A and B are shown apart, each in its own frame.
Chain A
Amino acid sequence: MKRYFCSFFVLIAFCCSVFGQEMRTVFVGAKIIPIVGNPIENGYLLIQNGKIIEIGNAAGKVWTADTIIVDAKGKVIMPGLIDSHSHIGEPAGADGSSPIQPDVRILDSLNVRAASLQRAQAGGITTVNVMPGSGHLDSGQTLYLKLRDGANKIDDLLLYDKDGKYMGGIKFANGTNPIRPGGGSFPGTRAKSAALVREQFIKAQAYKEKIAKAGDDKTKLPPRDLAMEALVETLEGKRVVHFHTHSHNDILTVLRLQKEFGFKVVLQHVSEAWKVADEIAKAKVPSSIIMIDSPGGKLETMDVSMTNGAALEKVGALVGFHTDDSITDSRWFLRSAGMAVRFGMSREKALYGMTMANAIMLDMQNRVGSLEAGKDADFIVLSGDPLSVYTHVEQTWVEGKNVFDRKNPLDYLTAVGGFGAGNDKFQDLDCFDGDIGGGN
């Protein structure tokens, strides 16, 4: 327990663990942007046991003696950011054996000590959808993580649904990435891509029916099939399809497949959303977009536009942002919202897209995404306007615990880079301020 070497806040956590019950902590005087509800200029945020107890206007408020008061004057506090599409933690999903591998879980591949996870904390990201790549029609199961500190194993970062199952989606892709002409069972065309996906979902429908027919008679159950099990969860809406798609025709193909099979879907990247915004809105399907500094890089993103956010906002579609880390760096995720505003989006919807919109896409809007009583105490303390280039994330808090503090030298190293910033992290030395050896 070397933690008491570091910041005041961690000292609090140490004390609290002694008493078993966390003390109430209140952040006072900050501008609070709760996302749901109006910003509060002289606000307070009261937390305890990892949850938000109360937020409101601090004027005239008196705190009980057992409340730790943190002066946050001049700061901006908003919910922890949610990244609906990232590749931090070195995820590895499907291999080259076939184009559709719903059985593969990135749960079985993640490195929880990877520096990329800490870079995400430094960027203010508290919840993240970590996905396998887009070189397959289906590259496997994704994972929704809370970026808690001190993780030794993947279990320490998981989120559980009301049935006690860890949460995650499933990654699909269309367009040119999964197309590998002459690549064995991989598709050579767009139509073939769609046909292969339909074939699997039809198989899954049949599998699901067999299970339903078996009822309580276990002898009539079909033999276990890991791929089918994941697709059945998808058909039942328990596993959201995160569909990598760029060009307008591919986007419409996703909408067509969604209509046919009824799965829950999030359009990912959606580079040409501005061309088919009406169709996306009509389908009531959410989009997770990425802000890229220039068009091109490959044929299907030649028409990618930073106006996608504005175009989708205009038609009333739900729109969130993602880093696709390492395509864009988690440390300046907020820049995506800034650039979207530059290209016509409203500030309110841009910040909503960094938080609540993504929470909805990951089916956890009751738990994260806004600062409301009862929700997880996931929030960030900023030095100023969230959309300014001069603003820094000063602190990141997950479930009431400070997981990033720019004042901590090692956290600072993660935030700005430098020698050793990219090395795997030894979590129990997280706050140790000195030479930790081993080439660091």
Chain B
Amino acid sequence: MISNFKFQISNLLVFVCLIIFVLSIQDIQAQIAVKGETVWTMTGEPITNGIVLIKDGKIEAVGTAAQIKIPSNYKIITAKVVTPGLIDAHTVIGLNGYLNQPHDQMALDGSSPIQPELRAFDAYDAREKLIEWVRGFGVTTIHTGHQPSALVSGQTMIAKTFGNNVDEVTIVPTAMIAVTLGQDGLAGQGKSPGTRGKQAAMLRAELIKAGNYKGDPRDLKMEMWQKVLKREIPLLVTVEKAQDIMTALRIAKEFNIKLVFDGASEAMQVIDDIKASGFPVIVHPTMARPGGDRESLSLEDAGKIRGAGVPIALQSGYEGYVPKTRVVLFEAAMAAGNGLSKRDALGAITIDAAKILGIDNRVGSLAVGKDADIAMYDGDPFEFVTHCTGTIINGQVVSEVVR
């Protein structure tokens, strides 16, 4: 009798769990219609009174209210302005946490100047508070990883900003190798690299060694460099001064490797060379502090580099103190206030960023078949006083705070 009772209880529990599970699945995959007075699809001109239909986590349809009929079982969410989920083209959050204590700062290992074997996803904390923070402003995808404070600090990765663990959120496990040329990439304390010339020599020596590497015995560094030499992954080269930009171009040419420029506050000094290379620029945060190698940065850099015909994205970058992270929406806003057109400022944190990161098949615009990642605002997304009213990732409402 007792065992039977137990059996019934456990049966009931299984049944209840099953119901909860089914309900939660339904909730996650609820079909949603997002209505916006202005919908920036980033595939063309913004749509006035537009609708985005979401089915099973993907974008099902995009168009005007006249073109699209919302099925009766779709949950309707309304916003003044609708954009694709924002992409932060370069950050360190998830590796560096908000407390700024040794236990939550994982974006730099200082033991050696060249460590391409350090995988970002072995350190990524998907539940870090700063990720939740930027998600509340509409950021849905981040390119994050090892910070620009060593010659080669490690790998970067690309992740969505919602999920419980690294495997669930990762889009690209190894996106780029983080390289820093110039002052910030010096080792200090009498160690190498101690000069710009030494930085280039050390980097070249590694690439030459990798060219001769046969795979036995296994060498984690060489395996990564070979991917670079095979043009499978680019170097994310953080450079500010014009001479460092030229060094990076020289090395790229010597080894026929791919680069993505990062920072590049003196890009306009050598813009013809950058343009000829075809390499894109993830421009320094607009509000970054002038100083050090960044002494000549300008609020107008993004507008000017884009104006010269070089593909750009914007970033929150790396911060060592306060604010512990910038918010890429705010950096784009300031660029929009200083010479970058509204479309291009939004592009630099959506579709143009997606293209540079090689993920535009999945995110960056509101187009049928893409991931349903959406940011919603109660006004011009760039105005200081506008709020983000909601964020959707993979068709799931992941933030409803008004921020």
Contacts and interface: CB of A to CB of B under 8 A. Distances in A.
B296 A389 contact: no
Interface string B359-383: 0000000000000000000000011
A388 B384 contact: yes
Interface stretch (A29-37, A96-104, A333-341, A429-437): A333-341
Contacts of B319: 297
Contacts, number: 104
B387 A416 contact: no
A332 interface: yes
Interface in A395-440: 415-422
A88 to B, nearest CB: 13
Given A342-B386, A388-B383, A422-B290, A294 B98 contact: yes
Contact of B98 (A302, A342, A415): A302
A121 to B, nearest CB: 16
B289 A293 contact: no
A301 B322 contact: yes
A326 interface: yes
A302 B134 CA distance: 15
A390 interface: yes
Interface string A303-340: 00000000000000000000000110100100100110
Contact of B321 (A297, A329, A338, A341): A297
A341 B385 contact: yes
Interface in B297-338: 297-300, 319, 321-327, 330, 333-334, 336-338
A296 interface: yes
Contacts of A422: 290-291, 295-296
B385 A338 contact: yes
Interface in A111-146: none
Contacts of B290: 417, 421-422
Given A295-B98, A295-B133, A422-B295, A332 B323 contact: no
A298 interface: yes
Given A294-B323, A389-B336, A302 B99 contact: yes
A23 interface: no
Contacts of B295: 421-422
A296 B129 contact: yes
A92 interface: no
Q: How many A residues touch the partner, as a band?
A: 20 to 34
Contacts of A297: 98, 100, 319, 321-324
A417 B297 contact: yes
A299 interface: yes
B322 A327 contact: yes
A69 interface: no
A177 to B, nearest CB: 12
B130 interface: yes
A333 B115 CA distance: 40
A405 B296 CA distance: 21
Contacts of A296: 97-100, 129-130, 322, 324
Contacts of A294: 98, 130, 133-134, 323-327
B287 interface: yes
Contacts of A196: none
A417 B299 contact: yes
A390 B336 CA distance: 7
Given A296-B98, A299-B101, A389-B383, A418 B322 contact: no
Given A297-B98, A419-B296, A421-B296, A292 B336 contact: no
A257 interface: no
A65 to B, nearest CB: 40
Interface string A160-189: 000000000000000000000000000000
Contacts of B322: 292, 296-298, 301, 327
Interface of A is mostly: loop
A387 B384 contact: yes
A338 B384 CA distance: 5
B133 A342 contact: no
A417 B291 contact: no
Contacts of A301: 322
A296 B131 CA distance: 13
Contact of B338 (A299, A416, A421): A416
A297 B93 CA distance: 12
A151 B389 CA distance: 48
Contacts of B129: 295-296
A301 B324 CA distance: 10
Interface in B24-54: none
B296 A332 contact: no
Given A293-B327, A297-B322, A417 B100 contact: no
Contacts of B298: 416-418, 421
Contacts of B325: 293-294
A339 B387 CA distance: 10
A298 B385 contact: no
Nearest to A290: B322
Contacts of A392: 337
A185 to B, nearest CB: 26
Contacts of B327: 293-294
Q: Which interface residue of A295, A339, A388, A419 has the most chain B CB atoms within 10 A?
A: A295
B98 A418 contact: no
Given A293-B330, A297-B100, A341 B324 contact: no
A392 B338 CA distance: 9
A329 to B, nearest CB: 7
Contacts of A387: 384-385
Nearest to B96: A296
Interface string B270-292: 00000000000000000101110
21 contacts: A293-B325, A294-B133, A294-B323, A295-B129, A295-B324, A296-B129, A296-B130, A296-B322, A297-B98, A297-B100, A297-B322, A297-B323, A326-B289, A332-B287, A338-B385, A342-B384, A389-B336, A390-B337, A391-B337, A392-B337, A417-B296
Interface of B: 97-101, 129-130, 133-134, 287, 289-291, 295-300, 319, 321-327, 330, 333-334, 336-338, 382-387
